[in-house]
Structure 1
Amino acid sequence: MTWQERIVVDPNVLTGKPIIKGTRMAVEFVVDLLGRGWSVDAVLREYDHLTREDVQACLAYAGEVLKSERIYLTP
């Protein structure tokens, strides 16, 4: 399964932020929880409508976005 099957952008939900399909859970929220030290199991316990694959899709999406990011230094 790829992140494209689980992550969607809908301009009518959360002002178009990427979300987990069928939810109102923003990818950035899930990634932030993990970054703050939450385990995947803790996320799944607290948000029991999510699956392990949803969390993995959030991380894969974040990785894809970061890979495509370009930084241009200015003097």
Structure 2
Amino acid sequence: MIQRFEPQQPLLERITVNPRVMVGKPTIRGLRITVDQILRALAAGVTHQEILADYPNLESDDIYAVLLYAAELVSEEQVFPIEVAA
């Protein structure tokens, strides 16, 4: 059974957006490491520990923050059907 957790604000505060850093993409604690980089690494099968080894400035909670950030974005997504005339 999947348990639903409420968003953890302190964890989400690790994700920052600054137009001067990485062209405004969401980054981790203002570092030049984007949420996208970490998500793609995880999707490619890179382990939590391998990511931490590859990015020594990251902390374990940073990876959890990336996952929570992505989950929050997806949970707010809405899809509306559009009728197309043939």
* Structure (1 or 2) with the greater helix fraction: 1
**Unaligned 5+ runs, structure 2:** 1-7
TM-score, length basis structure 2? 0.80
Equivalent of residue 74 in structure 1, options 63, 82, 86: 82
Q: CA RMSD in A?
A: 1.2
Residue type of the alignment partner of 1:21? R
Structure having the higher Rg: 2
The equivalent of 2:28 in structure 1 is 20
1: CA distance between counterparts of 2:66 and 2:41? 11
Give the structure, 1 or 2, with the largest relative contact order (CA under 8 Å, sep 6 or more): 1
Aligned pair 1:64/2:72, yes or no? Answer: yes
**Unaligned 5+ runs, structure 1:** none
The equivalent of 2:17 in structure 1 is 9
Aligned pairs, number: 75
